[in-house]
Structure 1
């Protein structure tokens, strides 16, 4: 497995990124607060770490001493963690993003089988350069010891370790076409076929073990399951549901009840409980109180403490999902492809748009269903997604007006912000301009048709941009379209042209599971997206690259090529419908 230079350097030994060298002192001048307290449990763990080579005796030389403490893990065992708060003041902690639960619905497909692989003592797989170990020393029972591996507690450790495991996941996608996601040391693998999934899990486990990683088989689930707990959520693609796990419910209950007993909370505690409620918001069919009004919730619960029963685990919340994009709460029992109605509202603000939507009677018609909100305003998206904020009181009031309006009609909403150069739909809508649409000119399309044939339908098109006579449009006012909303029905065509907006590609791939025929799917060449492995498995032929797009690609709203078109490469994939085997 060929690794990039950054991975090779990490494997050779990690160097802590200091912006200033921390001060070193001789161990004999260290006072008790910096020494690790002696206990029977700690002695056993230290002894085990010495046997495994994680800790070793250090020479009596200038050192940076930090205490060691223990925290309980989910399985009841204890994890040793360095209290490196003082050392972290000298460490460069670059910002980074880990995958979160909001990405999982895009990854999972209806009737997926799933497995997960968990690494044992994950951070300890990465060695620290010998010259850096003097900054990771402890004094325990009058003995000077140093860490030889990446410790829990170092501010740069999560980013460093995620670089390593993300590369592993990407390598498995490229080499074996495995559909896989990873959160630090926790891998999630999925496939439509149970036998293929079993093969993929075996390949993943063998590859990890071959590279020297230790698998925690007690926490791993290597037998394919229809439902699985990942990142604290019980996912069930067969029932299209997501439920907070029993352990997570207990954790939230304990946090809230602890606050109710004390009748007061520190700012740090409020922030922690706020995160718990944000998690509940994702899993629960009825939204909890907004985290930004947590203090008011506490005061109300103190006056009427029995109302905390809404948070008990005796009535677990359930969310049913119609598709990977729009979760529907308490949805009527309709087929997943049933289209109730479609309407697009454009207003100067999110609030006015929803009010316009309601004044036309659509909120009443859409009772107990779901709507999608798109915005190019990060602040507006953040306030609605988190159900409030602390920076702007007027925006808070607008947020609650929107939430009350939606709650009154029992409507669940999903809000999206699409960053980067592909954030054009929301931008054009907010400016009252015709929404952009990428269209490949005949000079380019005819080359594709000459190789693979002429499609009978264009599934993502408009009156202004379609490559064949029959097309599907998102514009309900377009009377020339064969029908509206491509996802409203299964696709059964001998050959179809599919050129969706990039953010809809995971949804398109999931929709292919219930479709038949051949599809020419046009997507950007993005090597590291999780859906590329699924795309490669579906391919019936090698992709056809479309370059020099400045001469072949136009935005129909402007008549000119899209911004930064010289940096864009599109690929046409010939894919088959139906679930992958």
Structure 2
């Protein structure tokens, strides 16, 4: 407030005199009023008696004079009659006595405690002090009582926070009582240790000072809640002394208000400043402001001129505030050289537009007029037309910017182009290490678990559906804190529930979260009532009633359940999109958008079901509130009269006991279904289909499917069996698996199994490829589909290109790149001699292995050898195979084995081994003509699998690595050994059953012997010895 002038003082002096005269003319006050006034007017101590100030003082001092005069006048009119003493005692003292200070305490104590009351204990000191005094075992009430869980769930979030603050204060008071209790206990015991007692009592005083400081902070908070922002900023950080906001509070408020007034005046000055013209206003002058000295190294913002700033009184020394008032400094790297732009000639219309735009900028304070200087720097201007027909004023500062240091921002990478967020690689590794650590332990401190949870929460924006998998962890932390009374230093258990959630993070932290476009594919309206639910999506509608268990839930739960059922009805076949859900319940909206909650597990569970349904389909949903009156369609669906009936459980049980359990329930709903798979007459979220039609036929098998395909292409039934004989049994087995997968694919996509288009076939083959199918498997699948849909499959250019692409991406590799030496196995077989003395099992294994090596044929061919087709001679034996084998083909003869007796070493002679085997098995043969029989009862023809197992066991005993080589490797080993011995390839082809021009042997069977890979290096080193 400003100083009063002398004429104001004279005016006030006269006014006081008039008031005094009026007071004298007033009637005397009554006795009661006098007594009342005496009690209301506190007596001042002699040191505080009022002394009339001089008339030149400020207004506040002058204005106190009338009240003093009134008080004195009233005292003079008081009657001398006194009330009886008992009445005076009943009335009490005349006024409240001034609080007197007591005896002083030690200055060391006063200084320390005063500092704590003003600034508070530090966190470390406070925690150390709390840990120092644990709660006595016989005084548990020193801990604040816990809030009942039933009432805690009903409290609002502000109430919970307020209760936590009170609990903390109560716990501090408990620690204070613990300190004093310990001291008193020691005194009563007679255990008086001065140093210890001083320390304990001093700690109690510290805790009391801390409580005093926290209460003062709370008073400051509530006192500032209604103040304006200027006062809040000015006094919020003041130190507490004898006054709550410090003794210098008034000065700080005045300074803040003065700054605000000055800033307001400056802003008003800028707004009202008239825009003056200049002859060269079309140029950006690098010159001084008018009436100023040149300043080349800095340029101020146009909103505040430098001379105005210098004329302002020094209201603060704060550099930030001064920077606001001074303006912005352009960071010139060096002084720009003088540069003048040639004057431009504008048409009259454009010149008017430019003048108008410059006036607007001057009025806004964005630019100011400059005077000419010798080394000025000017920049050109021009106009750019806008789409609406107006013009945009452009100031070209390109040349000036060459002399300015600009900030370099982070360079965007390719991930930004994809509009996705992802967790940095290093952070992923660090978080995964923490997750692995927590999965290996069983307990940890609540603080450590909270740190992990905070880290996971921080990366949720970059991990799709991440918020969903933090709610259970938040719930576990919440329960642990309830149990520990908010003590983060206590331990909590790492349950399987927590480890399951952490496992999800372990496998999904690497995923990127796309930035949402909120381009919704569907808009679904849902509603729930106590009788049922309803959902509407465009013209489609769905509804249903609640089950007996669902009817008992709260309406919030039912609203979320209705949202889930609506999603399941309308998004069953939808993937990779965004969907908007309209709900008329704010709790349901909040739970959906926040992906769950902590306080109510049943609501979190149903929300989890909603989002996991979306996660499996890569759907992102957003819930939006809609007024109930605008949600009338979904509301109508939710209130339909219950017309559903169901078969009683007793009757259903009797039916199943007599006729068996059915597979499909027709005309059912999710509430009255009797089977897991059911058909609904209307849209139902769990229905197998909503069309009451019989289920599609099951896969009939490979032979039946091919038969039906041939019939559809016009094959007569009489020729059907003959045509099917063109395919071997093994071919049917080979085609059975891919045709079964094709059958399921067609059922899933409602396709005709025998007349699908090429795009669907490509889609099916791609799915097989993505599931890991090799080139050979894809080729087999294509061949099987050709049998169903005709030769167009094999001749289509698109399919040919696709198969070629599979070949390049997953080229077929030979099973073996090397083979073993037959000599090793033959030497092992030679040990099983004489044949008459070895067991039948060993003799059988010896026979099949020698036949596999000496014939070079498959195990299938060996299993078809019959005694009746064998012709012995002095030189050997001829074996004829009349049955169809895998290598049989049109125009070729059936295999004929010519085995010569190997008299040089009878131990491995194939003829001698065959004769010995026939003699040994003659007693167990009945009507069986096959040569090879099983070696154990009941004796029967050996299958190809049994023969392969025998050969593999023999190879293992001989030292061959059977983890690499199978029984079929005998074909590789024998033919490769024959080639190495110099035998003609034509002879090898004929003996092994290959055609004369076949390249099978060269491509797949001719392999080198598995040799020592160190032979080359050893040979080089051996040259030293040789020389």
Compute the TM-score of the two structures, normalised by the length of structure 1.
0.32
In terms of fraction of residues, the more strand-rich structure is 1
In terms of fraction of residues, the more helix-rich structure is 2
Indicate the structure (1 or 2) with the bigger Cα radius of gyration: 2
Compute the TM-score of the two structures, normalised by the length of structure 2.
0.20
